[in-house]
Structure 1
Amino acid sequence: MDAIELLTSQHRSLEALMKAWMDGPQSQRESLFKRVGDELTVHLTSEEQIFYPAVKEKRTEDILLESLEEHLSLKRVLADLVELAPDDPAFEPKFHVLKEQAEHHHKEEEEHLFPKVRKLLEPMALNTLGQQMQALQQQLKREGDPREIVTEQTDKAAPLE
């Protein structure tokens, strides 16, 4: 799958999961949060380790640096949520912040970064990136509870390598 199509599809999936968390019964919130946390973590990680480095050389550095700062903000809120009990009074407001920040980040990428990348990279290169990202995401999920790793990634934005 094309990397941009993969990321855009994951944006919609994450947004749907977050909406399900907000609209769903209290009894499903803990399991839905774990899914949101895991899916968000593997998405961010694959962008940082594969997609962003691949497109950095194509005159996108300004957008990527902003995206990495947005990732840091998402990781900080997610790390706070991972540490909180689901019934903590601060959990729901923090989840709302996570949802809003994720939606903003998705919009920024889809409106500014992805169109630029689509013009700069050939379809074959985008397909290769998509395959690499899917492989990394599957590996992270096999290793278990990807959301737990964000607690160690909140001091500074990931480097743009």
Structure 2
Amino acid sequence: MIRLLFVFLTLTSPAYAVQPDEVLQDPVLEERARDISTGLRCLVCRNESIDESNAELARDLRILLRERLVAGDTDQEAVDFIVDRYGEYVLLKPTASGANLLLWLAGPVMLLIAGAVGLNFIRNRSKTQSTVPSGSDTLTQEEQARLRQILED
């Protein structure tokens, strides 16, 4: 039973790519490094954090982050240093300010515009259908006579 529990816990835990030589001796600093690195994107793997990636660049970022923490940087200072060096793309959750605000708002705005256009289309279509009479009484007497003549020829 204990073995089964151990296997289950091992398989369900996140897969960290942190190498033993990267781990800091101070457990508090190591925990801070792990917390920060889960929010930093691997620039090679795109949608993996640097903690999960085996790429060489992710390893370099993990080491750089740990060096900054050992040097005495706060969490925010360490993240700011990496963002200044690699750009805001390195953040898995970019900030919603400045130019990024336009990107954050573009999706909901486009959804509202599409909804308004769709609603307007449906309203106009129902109005058009209700104003067009159906059946053969829509033709005038002359048009009906001309139609009969064309069909007979």
TM-score, normalised on structure 2? 0.25
Greater helix content = 1
Structure ID, larger Rg: 2
